[in-house]
Structure formats: structure tokens, C-alpha cells
């Protein structure tokens, strides 16, 4: 291990929510979180419906979150899955509508089942008993109030694992601030740089603006990604960027911004698994109806290094 890498290894790995002041804040934090559902502002859609009364709008999710699966995931980044898996809890009805979504059957359909705070807490404790390294909430942007409520119940029942917030980065700042002290690892995507691309491909023109705000807040809370001595992530920000065909200029802009405005120490997963899916196909979104080439992937890594980034998931 070289000196630079050694800077990010820590000995103390207790979750942030075990700090007494954070635990004492939980009842008030839950009340504040649920109040945002009365006229929903949980995410940047700001639908304004009364989800406590089970009203629904863009995300088609009412009082309770809809959980599609919970399991020890061995396909996440190596620093999350470790040897025993990342304890993923997947939510349906993402607040984006990416035309290329590779999990569209989960993210854009009302699959799974509605689950209250006690039920979600039970899933967390089952994953902990299974030996998972962390609890990994996948696509939680639209159900942050319910997640806060469930974490509070799980802590009272003996949860001691780090919390991973695995997000598209289309998050409301108010929701992220509710998670301050509860989340140990933020894992946001940064998909697009331009508003036009975001409007065309994910039905959210303001996505790049909200993503930049979100990443700044996440880094303020937890800083650069750090690891236990055995290489498992325990605190910090891990940014995912999916390289897409023909969008290298946006990739370059994202990496420059991460290095300049967040930190050159930002840990980045430059992802190669894009393929045409969901609404992408012959006659629809032709510009992205192919996989990225090897040359495009090399150019993405070159752009990251040119920006000054050096910590990559391999």
C-alpha cells in the first residue's frame, strides 16, 4: 500500500448514527422527515401531494415505500461487497425516467410490496444477521422520510452496520440534510452534465444542477472515501459515472468538476456496462443505441486522470 492510499485507511469504523447526539436526535428527525410527506418535497419533483394520506403523483409511492428485494449483493463495488456482500434494499418507482435504465422493470414499475418502518427495520436486521458489511439503500431519493423512520426503528433494535445511500443524485438538499449523521457512505451517480441531455434522456432538465448540489452536500457530510484495514469502505463518497456512447464531452466536464469543486481524492467508478435497454432501440434514441467502444472507455479514464482524479474502482 502506497503512502497516498494509506491516508484513507482508518481504524475506527463505528457507524455515525451510534454517536449519542445523533441517537438523541432521532425522534425529532423522524417527525421532521414525515412532515415533508404532508405536501411532498422529498425529492426535486416537489409534487406537493399528501403522501401521509396515501396520495401519489410522479413516483406513484404513497405513505409506505415499496421494496422490491433485499439480499446480500455480491455484484457491488469490491470495497462495498467485501467477502460477505452488501446488504442491498431495492426500492421501486425511481424519481427519474431514464430511457436507457437497465433496471427499468424494478425502477419504473410498481413491483415488490409496500413495507412500513418496522418491516424495513426487520430487513436491515436480517441482512446484519446474514453477515453483510453494510445496509445499502438503492434508489431511495423519493422515500427518504420512510428510510429515516425505518433506520430509527432498526437502531433501537440493535442495528450496528454502516448505511450506504445509493442514489441517482436527483436528491433534495432538505432530504440529504435529514440523512446527515445517519449515512456513512454516499454512492451517487453523476449521469449528465448538460440540461438538454438530462431533459432528453431522464425527463429531468434540472438533473445536473441538483446532482452538483447533492454531491457538494454529501462531501460536506462524509468527505472522501475511507476504508477499514481490510479494504471495506466505511465512510465517504463514492461517485459512479456510466460512460455512454457519444457523450464524452459530458464525461470530461463531470470529471473536471469533481476534481475542481469536490476533491481530487474523490473515489470514482468509471462504469463500462452501458448497453441499449428499456426505450432504446432501432428507431428510438439512435445516438445511444450501441455500447461504448474501447476507445471511448480509454478516453474516459484519460479524462479523469487529466482532471487530477486518481482513485478508481477496478
Q: Any idea what the CATH number is for the domain that residue 165 is in?
A: 3.20.20.70
Q: With H, G, I as helix, E, B as strand and everything else as coil, classify residue 67.
A: strand
Q: How does 158-190 read in b/e, with b if 16+ C-beta sit within 10 Å?
A: ebebbbbbbbbbbbbeebbebbbbbbbbbbbbb
pLDDT of residue 2: 62
243 to 37, 69, 168, 185, 300: CA distances (angstroms): 35, 27, 15, 22, 7
Q: Among candidates 145, 115, 156, which has minimal Cα distance to 37?
A: 145
Q: Provide the domain count of the chain.
A: 1
Q: Is residue 195 part of a domain?
A: yes
Rounded (10°) CA dihedral 41, 46, 49, 51: -40
pLDDT value of residue 104: 87
User: What's the pLDDT score for residue 168?
Assistant: 97
Instruction: Classify residue 299: in a domain, yes or no.
Output: yes
C-alpha cell recorded at residue 206: 434540472
CA neighbours closer than 13 Å in the CB half-sphere of residue 47:
18
Residue 303 in domain: yes
Residue at 1 is within a domain: no
Residue indicated by cell numbers 468527505: 223
In this structure, which long-range contacts are made by residues 188-191, counting pairs with CB atoms below 8 Å and at least 24 apart in sequence?
Answer: 188/214, 188/215, 188/218, 188/237, 188/239, 188/240, 189/239, 189/240, 189/241, 189/242, 190/215, 190/239, 190/240, 190/241, 190/254, 190/258, 191/98, 191/241, 191/242
Q: Which residues contact 56 (CB under 8 A, 6 or more apart)?
A: 49, 62
Give the pLDDT confidence score for residue 264 in this predicted structure.
98
Residues 6+ apart with CB under 8 A from 252: 303, 307
Cα separation values, 148 from 23, 42, 67, 70, 120, Å: 12, 12, 15, 17, 11
Domain range enclosing 303? 11-57+66-312
Query: What is the C-alpha separation between 212 and 247, in angstroms, rounded?
Result: 18
How many angstroms separate the CA atoms of 243 and 291, rounded?
9
Q: Does residue 4 lie within any of the structural domains?
A: no
Q: What is the pLDDT along the chain (314 residues), one digit of tens a residue?
A: 566 778 999 987 899 999 999 999 999 999 999 999 999 999 999 999 999 999 999 999 999 999 999 999 999 999 999 999 999 999 999 999 999 999 888 888 888 999 999 999 999 999 999 999 999 999 999 999 999 999 999 999 999 999 999 999 999 999 999 999 999 999 999 999 999 999 999 999 999 999 999 999 999 999 999 999 999 999 999 999 999 999 999 999 999 999 999 999 999 999 999 999 999 988 899 999 999 999 999 999 999 999 999 999 98
Can you give the pLDDT at residue 108? 83
Residue 3: inside a domain, yes or no?
no
Asked whether 30 and 24 are in contact (CB, 8 A), the reply is no
Amino acid at each position: 500500500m502506497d503512502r497516498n492510499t494509506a491516508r484513507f485507511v482508518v481504524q475506527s469504523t463505528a457507524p455515525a448514527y451510534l454517536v449519542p447526539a445523533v441517537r438523541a436526535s432521532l425522534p425529532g428527525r423522524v417527525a421532521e422527515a414525515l412532515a415533508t410527506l404532508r405536501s411532498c418535497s422529498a425529492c426535486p419533483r416537489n409534487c406537493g401531494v399528501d403522501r401521509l394520506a396515501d396520495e401519489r403523483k410522479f413516483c406513484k409511492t404513497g405513505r409506505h415505500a415499496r421494496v422490491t428485494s433485499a439480499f446480500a449483493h455480491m455484484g457491488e463495488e469490491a470495497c462495498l461487497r467485501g467477502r460477505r456482500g452488501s446488504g442491498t434494499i431495492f426500492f421501486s418507482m425511481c424519481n427519474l425516467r431514464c430511457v436507457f435504465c437497465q433496471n427499468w422493470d424494478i425502477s419504473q414499475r410498481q413491483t415488490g410490496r409496500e413495507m412500513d418502518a418496522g418491516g424495513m427495520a426487520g430487513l436491515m436486521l436480517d441482512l446484519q444477521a446474514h453477515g453483510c458489511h453494510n445496509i445499502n439503500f438503492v434508489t431511495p431519493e423519493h422515500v427518504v422520510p420512510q428510510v429515516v423512520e425505518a433506520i430509527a426503528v432498526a437502531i433501537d433494535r440493535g442495528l450496528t452496520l454502516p448505511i450506504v445511500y445509493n442514489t441517482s443524485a436527483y436528491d433534495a438538499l432538505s432530504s440529504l440534510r435529514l440523512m446527515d449523521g445517519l449515512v456513512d457512505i454516499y454512492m451517487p451517480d453523476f449521469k449528465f452534465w448538460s440540461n438538454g441531455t438530462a431533459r432528453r434522456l431522464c425527463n429531468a432538465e434540472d438533473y445536473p444542477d441538483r446532482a452538483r448540489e447533492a454531491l457538494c452536500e454529501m462531501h460536506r457530510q462524509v468527505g472522501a472515501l475511507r476504508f477499514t484495514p481490510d479494504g471495506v469502505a466505511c465512510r465517504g463518497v463514492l461517485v459512479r459515472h456510466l460512460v455512454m456512447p457519444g457523450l464524452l464531452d459530458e464525461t470530461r466536464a463531470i470529471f473536471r468538476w469533481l476534481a475542481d469543486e469536490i476533491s481530487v481524492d474523490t473515489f470514482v467508478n468509471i462504469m463500462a456496462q452501458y448497453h441499449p435497454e428499456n426505450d432504446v432501440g432501432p428507431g428510438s434514441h439512435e445516438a445511444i443505441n450501441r455500447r461504448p467502444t474501447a476507445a471511448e472507455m480509454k478516453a474516459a479514464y484519460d479524462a479523469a486522470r487529466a482532471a487530477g482524479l486518481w482513485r478508481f474502482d477496478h
